[in-house]
Structure 1
Amino acid sequence: MNNADAQSAYFQCVQLKSGHSGFAAGSHLGYYTNVHWLNILYNQKLTADTGYGQRAIYIEGIGTESGEGDSTYGMGTGRGNTGVVRKTDKAVAMLVAAIKGYLDNLPDASSCIIKELQFDIFGFSRGAAAARHFANRVFSQDQAIIAAIKAGLGSIEFSGTPGGKTRFLGIFDTVAGIGTPVNGFNPHSADTGEVNIVLRPGVAEKVFHITAQHECRFNFALNSVKPAWPELALPGAHSDIGGGYNPDEYEAYFITRPQFETVTFSTPDTKTRVYQQACEQLSAMDTWPAIGPLLQALEINIDTWHDERMPADRYGMPQKRSGAAAVTTNFK
């Protein structure tokens, strides 16, 4: 089966499973993000004798809803029923069941005193914007959050901060991309409308932001947290950092920029000037702090190719256009 046939079969499988096709199936065609895996890994089995308990709440990405087709408006603007703010509303609504679920499985819960309720909040892309907005709602002691905590606790004594506190805010490559009437529904604008992503001192005990060092930022404009909070740029594009690439997707990609040279047809591609330059560039990359350590884990080759559709030189000798670059093939 060639790539086109495999892709067609994959699209058909997604349509049969989700009931959606075309734009509405966009998120169904992707893979799980790192936020999903963090949700799976979050330890919800702490025993009562530790004095701590944890529950995980997962909220779908912006523009999506579990079991539903993707929202064109939500995807395009980050607003509406599947927008950033509404996703934080959904998280608040799910707090009640999460707290009750924990207490229902806690021995002698009625005699317990809950000293504090803390949030660990994670998000990627617009989900990172939602995580930041939710952290600000906690920081401002949002009345809806206070009410949800009270409803979840019921008659259990609570001596902590009424709306809880944020212990950790971990975010991947925040791209709010909010389209509003004020900015002409331009998601590339720095204006985020009602979405509050400003992280002031005290919003959380710890904040850590991982960003994509090689993203093309016109389409994915970064909302940085520097200099107030730690931010680490790692090699890769947007979804290299936050996840979402299918692990079975086989992809070849350039480590160096392809270069070209016109040579006589009899010249071996490995004897060209551009081949030597590619070798030198790859060797120099070992000293680059942003990519050097990663090269040790990759199988990299200097690939060559040529185009024979070239006119003869002035002496009538056949020519070719030869290219070379360092290439790696890897499963994402």
Structure 2
Amino acid sequence: MSIEYFVEGKVIVQTKGDNISFSKGDIVYNSEKSIIQRGAETGVSYGEPRKIHPNDKPISTIDVTLNLFFDGTQNNKTNTQAGKNHKKSNHKDDSYTNDYSNVARGFDATDPSAENQVRVYIEGIGTEDLKSDDVFPDVAFGTGDRGVIAKVAKGCIEGAKALERKFSDVKKQINLTVNVFGFSRGATAARHFIYVATNPAKIFSTGSGFFALSPYDAPSLKNAVYMKEKSSLADSFGFFGACLAAKKLQIASIQFKFAGLYDTVASYGPNHRGGWGFNDDTKQLSLDAIGNGKVNFVLQIAADDEYRDNFDLTNINSAGLYGLEFTLPGVHSDIGGSYVDGEKEVSVLYCQKGSIINDIFFNIEEECKKFKEILIDEGWYKDEELEIKSFYQSDLDPDILWTKDSSSFYGIIGTRVLSNSYDKVALNLVFHYSQNKKTGGVKYLDSSLKRHQIEEEFLTRIYNQLTRYTNACNDLRNEYIAKYLRGESTADYLTEIKKISYLDFVDEQDLKN
């Protein structure tokens, strides 16, 4: 924006105080005669320019960014820090025994002192800080007081509180940008948040004012937000908008700029695929609300090797050209993090009851040998990590028991030591796209970005190969954006981008190491 003055005569500016001009560009004076500068006391001084503060703009609005991080099921950074010896931990397999997820790492890396930026972390489904995990129904089904919808309601409330703490004294109106991040069911929560924040709130009116009902607690007034006057924010931006209005924040506009999703898995309710009179997860939670340009850019990183029987991936097809989905080798936590580095994992990979009938008619030993070869050939295990043998369930950790049968079994047991370094690949991809001013504009701490850099020689080789794949996907999307801008059809974008596979860019032997 420029302002030019054309004056036929003189321009005289008089002030009793200072006359200060700020510019991010040049300040230019042109004269057909002399340019005269006088200072009554010390003459004319020159020096380094003062930094222009965003809040000093000669306009009535400021630009503010809210970054919302929704962690995954049984992921909780406070509990991880407390450790597995905490009195509220089961000491085996809960939020206290996990390592940090990539959502937690992303939150910690976000610069808390950056101007006009705030961050909010919502702990994972089934968890609360320094409390025991709630396995049923929260962990099992993603429902309940610590379920997906409850966490979204908390995100709305805590997001408004964070903005109030930093900007309650600001007199200008706020142009608010919202970025969301999530892993697993936390990615589901991030997507459901977009739905809640782009649909009208349910309002209960009283003689003294209005209550915006919580998306989890409605139709009760529990956790409802009170507004003395009905706000257009509640109509346009739902329960989130009502929370902002209740804090008396002056919001001029809201845009949802970036969604960074690590392997969205809803697994919501007892029948998440639909049927028996239930809609599937996507419809129940309106997970396609990220589509139609409601979010400027949606990035999803999906796990190619996850066993999806009860762990279905929710794609981002609804985002269309506004989305970019990378499918990387690995399983769920290879993408979203939380593996404990160096932890020993024991798994029963295949077994049958040990019996003469099974030995004679099904040749269990031969079946086990064939399956073992497949596991080694595909890179899941090394030969020394697999054992074919007879065993009783009592020989194993009680956590991996699958039946009360006391019979002996014959099968394959895999034992391996886990590494959590590979999850840096997905984390760095999210860093890359979310800090780009066009797609996210998140301000991170340089020290955190450096700490999460990929430095191991082997992992660097894998990362470089996968970067060729992600660049190919990104280049194709850019081609389709150019088509869109030219008015050409982009209907086959999703079909074409799914044809690009990381297998065309990586050395498969590297993936087996």
TM-score, normalisation: structure 1: 0.64
1:64 and 2:127 are equivalent in the alignment: yes
1:143 and 2:238 are equivalent in the alignment: yes
Alpha-carbon separation, structure 2, partners of 1:168 and 1:114? 22
1:217-242 Cα distance to aligned partner (Å, 9 max, x none): 11311111126221110111000001
Cα 1:166–1:184 shift into 2, 3 Å: closer
Q: Who is 2:331 aligned against?
A: 237
Cα 1:124–1:185 shift into 2, 3 Å: farther
Alpha-carbon separation, structure 2, partners of 1:192 and 1:67? 31
Alpha-carbon separation, structure 2, partners of 1:116 and 1:247? 42
Q: Who is 1:92 aligned against?
A: 156
Alpha-carbon separation, structure 2, partners of 1:130 and 1:249? 29
Aligned partner of 1:210: which letter? I
Q: Who is 2:259 aligned against?
A: 169
Aligned to 1:32, the other structure's residue is in SS state: coil
Aligned to 1:165, the other structure's residue is in SS state: strand
The 5 Å alignment of 1:1-332 reads 14-21=83-90, 26-47=94-115, 53-72=116-135, 73-103=137-167, 109-110=169-170, 112-140=171-199, 141-152=236-247, 154=248, 157-160=250-253, 164-180=254-270, 190-192=280-282, 194-198=284-288, 199-226=290-317, 228=320, 229-249=323-343, 256=378, 290=502, 328=513
TM-score, normalisation: structure 2: 0.43
How far does residue 116 in structure 1 lie from its aligned partner after superposition? Answer: 1.1
How far does residue 206 in structure 1 lie from its aligned partner after superposition? Answer: 0.8
Alpha-carbon separation, structure 1, partners of 2:195 and 2:302? 21
Alpha-carbon separation, structure 2, partners of 1:171 and 1:77? 20
1:105-162 Cα distance to aligned partner (Å, 9 max, x none): xxxx44x31331121100000000000000122222343212211233x3x64322xx
Q: Who is 2:409 aligned against?
A: none
Contact 1:136 1:203 in 2 (8 A): no
Identity of aligned residues (%): 28
Alpha-carbon separation, structure 1, partners of 2:286 and 2:106? 24
Q: Who is 1:266 aligned against?
A: none
Residue-pair matches, total:
246
Contact 2:83 2:96 in 1 (8 A): yes
Cα 1:67–1:159 shift into 2, 3 Å: same
Aligned to 2:266, the other structure's residue is in SS state: coil
Contact 2:260 2:298 in 1 (8 A): yes
Alpha-carbon separation, structure 2, partners of 1:197 and 1:19? 33
Q: Who is 1:323 aligned against?
A: none
Which ranges in structure 2 are unaligned for 5 or more consecutive residues?
Answer: 1-81, 200-235, 347-374, 384-464, 470-500
Max Rg structure: 2
Which ranges in structure 1 are unaligned for 5 or more consecutive residues?
Answer: 1-12, 48-52, 261-285, 301-325
Alpha-carbon separation, structure 2, partners of 1:181 and 1:226? 22
Contact 2:305 2:331 in 1 (8 A): yes
1:36-78 Cα distance to aligned partner (Å, 9 max, x none): 011011123223xxxxx11111001111111111112101111
How far does residue 254 in structure 1 lie from its aligned partner after superposition? Answer: 5.0
How far does residue 176 in structure 1 lie from its aligned partner after superposition? Answer: 0.3
Contact 1:178 1:185 in 2 (8 A): no
Contact 1:175 1:223 in 2 (8 A): yes
Cα 1:249–1:295 shift into 2, 3 Å: farther
Cα 1:242–1:138 shift into 2, 3 Å: same
Contact 1:225 1:231 in 2 (8 A): yes
Contact 2:180 2:260 in 1 (8 A): yes
Cα 1:173–1:259 shift into 2, 3 Å: closer
1:240-288 Cα distance to aligned partner (Å, 9 max, x none): 001111134378995735799xxxxxxxxxxxxxxxxxxxxxxxxx999
Cα 1:192–1:70 shift into 2, 3 Å: farther
Aligned to 2:145, the other structure's residue is in SS state: helix
